[in-house]
């Protein structure tokens, strides 16, 4: 097993974080309680620095982008927000993963780690508290150095998606959690146990570094979950030269109404509707408490409305001779392009907002086949890195036929769209 070279401060920082434990044991006489506690604090540090990394990850997750989920609409967004100074851009599409990490994964993982730590029946004194704080600061700083050097300075953010960033704390929980589960409940405070924990933790981290840096090695986690090599590097959307022959952009009033409609609809068609049932119950027995579940429902509805607006509100649909581009005027970035030869089907739908404003939503379907279901992630060279969506959807446009004609799919529009007659 190769130890990272001196020229790589990131891996050395990870190894240094492991040195905190044995140095504490040998130099300061730390007990098993302190040792296990430092490992729990290191998990907290790994989760913290993962949350710092997520917004800057350039690649896109190699999984389904679903517009129907609460935050899924944001995963389809292209383009970043430039920040001043040497800091790389942040990407709105990474927000769903960041929220899941901070609000769900981190509390669950930390809760499980503290539970296993408690099974060791630790004796917390003033002395052990000081030792825990010292060890915690050491591992936090070491992981911070790894983040600053490997991820930001050396451009590691270009190789990761937010999902592959979250893999690091997930693996840490499994590896270190196994040590805590095996050793923690025994409460044995002996040199042999301490040596076993320290050696196991060091071997785990070195193995992780080796697998990450050797393209020919893929561990179990990488086959089941994927890695940075299996994530998708977004290809920029190229606009045709010249001015578009057709432009279509829904009015602000329409996009706002659409966002509100989707927000309210989400609260009525998802599990959030349970909040209304709770509110109705409280309205009978404790009217003031009924405001709490209503406020929760409104918060979810507002979040869904915001993500819907950010996804479709700023879009302008630009029809060229044989191509259609969805252009985000907020980010100044094309979001999707479809050429006439790629259109296999055209469908027009009208929801409540369309009927109210006399508009229509038109879908230009590429007709791509759904990829087969598989239980493990393929090797990096076998991954399909094309992140083109199945269709381009132009929402709430007042003349969908003109867009179809511009892209060269007018005949498909005539074939596929059942337009109502004047007498209907």
The mean per-residue pLDDT over the stretch 194-203 comes to: 64
Plot region of 53 (φ>0 → left; ψ -120 to 50 → alpha; else → beta): alpha
DSSP H or E segment with residue 376: none
Read off the pLDDT of residues 361-392 as tens digits, 9 standing for 90 and up: 999 998 766 556 566 677 777 777 777 788 89
pLDDT tops 70 at residue 18: no
Give 41 or 215, the one with higher predicted confidence. 41
d(CA 8, CA 11) in angstroms, rounded, equals 6
CA distances, 53 to each of 95, 98, 375 (Å): 12, 9, 28
Sign of CA dihedral 133, 134, 135, 141: positive
pLDDT digits (tens, 9 = 90+) for 230-270: 888 888 899 999 899 999 999 999 999 999 999 999 999 99
pLDDT band at 204 (very low <50, low <70, confident <90, very high): low
Contacts of 233 (CB under 8 A, 6+ apart): 58, 59, 60, 385
Say if residue 316's pLDDT is above 90. yes
| Residue 227 pLDDT exceeds 80 | no
DSSP state of 3: P
- Sequence-separated (6 or more) residues with CB below 8 Å from residue 44: 110, 136, 140
Residue 190, token pair as written in the block: 């002996």
Q: Give burial (CB, 10 Å; 0-12/13-18/19+) of 84.
A: exposed
Q: Give the Cα separation of 120 and 335 in Å (integer).
A: 53
Give tens-digit pLDDT for 24-46: 555 556 666 777 788 788 889 99
DSSP-derived letter for residue 370 is P
Helix axis angle, 162-183 relative to 106-119, nearest 10°? 10
Helices 9-28/32-53 angle, 10° precision: 160
- Distant-in-sequence, close-in-space partners of 94: CB < 8 Å, separation ≥ 6: 54, 55, 56, 57, 162
- Which residue is associated with the tokens 């100074």? 85
pTM of the model: 0.78
| Contacts for 29 with CB less than 8 Å, ≥ 6 apart | none
φ and ψ of 88, to 5 deg? -70, 165
Burial (CB count <10 Å: 0-12, 13-18, 19+), residue 41: buried
pLDDT digits 0-9 by tens, 68-98: 678 878 888 888 888 888 889 999 999 989 9
Tokens standing for residue 421: 């007659």
Interacting residues of 288 by C-beta distance below 8 A, sequence separation 6+: none
* pLDDT for the residue numbered 415: 82
Quick one: tokens of 227? 């890695």
- Please give the average per-residue pLDDT across 300-329, as a whole number: 94
Averaged confidence pLDDT in the chain: 81
Strand runs labelled E in 201-258: 246-248
Helical axes 32-53 vs 191-213, angle rounded to 10°: 20
Query: Is 254 buried (19+), middle (13-18) or exposed (0-12) by CB count in 10 A?
Result: buried
What tokens were used for 418?
Answer: 């059942």
**Which residues touch 166 (CB under 8 Å, ≥6 apart)?**
50, 54, 97, 100, 101, 105
Distance between CA atoms of residues 126 and 331, nearest Å: 53
User: What would the DSSP string read from start to end of 408-421?
Assistant: T-HHHHHHH--PPP
What distances in angstroms separate CA 332 from CA 161, 316, 403, one per listed residue? 22, 11, 21
């Amino acid at each position: 097993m190769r130890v990272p070279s001196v020229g790589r401060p990131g891996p050395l920082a990870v190894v240094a974080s492991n040195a905190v434990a044995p140095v504490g044991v040998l130099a300061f006489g730390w007990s098993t309680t302190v040792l296990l506690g430092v490992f729990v604090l290191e998990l907290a540090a790994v989760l913290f620095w993962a949350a710092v990394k997520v917004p800057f990850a350039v690649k896109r997750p190699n999984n389904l982008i679903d517009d129907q989920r609460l935050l899924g609409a944001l995963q389809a967004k292209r383009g970043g927000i430039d920040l001043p100074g040497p800091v790389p851009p942040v990407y709105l599409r990474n927000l769903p993963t960041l929220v899941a990490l901070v609000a769900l994964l981190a509390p669950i993982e930390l809760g499980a780690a503290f539970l296993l730590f408690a099974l060791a029946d630790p004796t917390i004194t003033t002395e052990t508290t000081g030792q825990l704080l010292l060890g915690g600061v050491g591992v936090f700083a070491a992981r911070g150095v790894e983040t600053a050097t490997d991820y930001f300075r050396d451009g590691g953010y270009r190789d990761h998606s937010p999902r592959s960033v979250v893999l690091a704390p997930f693996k840490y929980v499994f590896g270190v959690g196994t040590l805590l589960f095996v050793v923690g409940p025994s409460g044995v405070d002996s040199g042999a146990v301490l040596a076993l924990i320290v050696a196991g933790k060091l071997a785990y981290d070195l193995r992780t570094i080796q697998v990450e840096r050797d393209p020919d090695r893929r561990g179990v986690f990488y086959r089941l979950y994927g890695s940075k090599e299996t994530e998708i590097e977004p290809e920029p959307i190229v606009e045709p030269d010249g001015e578009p022959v057709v432009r279509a952009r829904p009015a602000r009033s329409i996009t706002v109404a659409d966002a509100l409609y989707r927000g309210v609809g989400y609260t009525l068609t998802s599990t959030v509707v349970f909040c209304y049932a709770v509110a109705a119950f409280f309205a009978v027995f404790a009217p003031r408490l009924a405001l709490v579940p209503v406020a929760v429902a409104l918060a979810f509805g507002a979040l869904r409305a915001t993500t819907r607006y950010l996804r479709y509100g700023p879009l302008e649909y630009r029809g060229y001779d044989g191509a259609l581009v969805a252009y985000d005027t907020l980010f100044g970035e094309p979001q999707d392009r479809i050429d006439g030869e790629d259109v296999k089907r055209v469908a027009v739908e009208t929801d409540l907002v369309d009927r109210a404003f006399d508009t229509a939503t038109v879908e230009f379907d590429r007709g791509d086949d759904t990829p087969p279901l598989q239980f493990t992630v393929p090797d990096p060279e076998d991954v399909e890195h094309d992140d083109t969506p199945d269709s381009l959807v132009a929402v709430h446009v007042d003349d969908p036929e003109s867009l179809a004609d511009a892209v060269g799919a007018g005949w498909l529009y005539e074939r596929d769209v059942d337009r109502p007659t004047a007498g209907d």
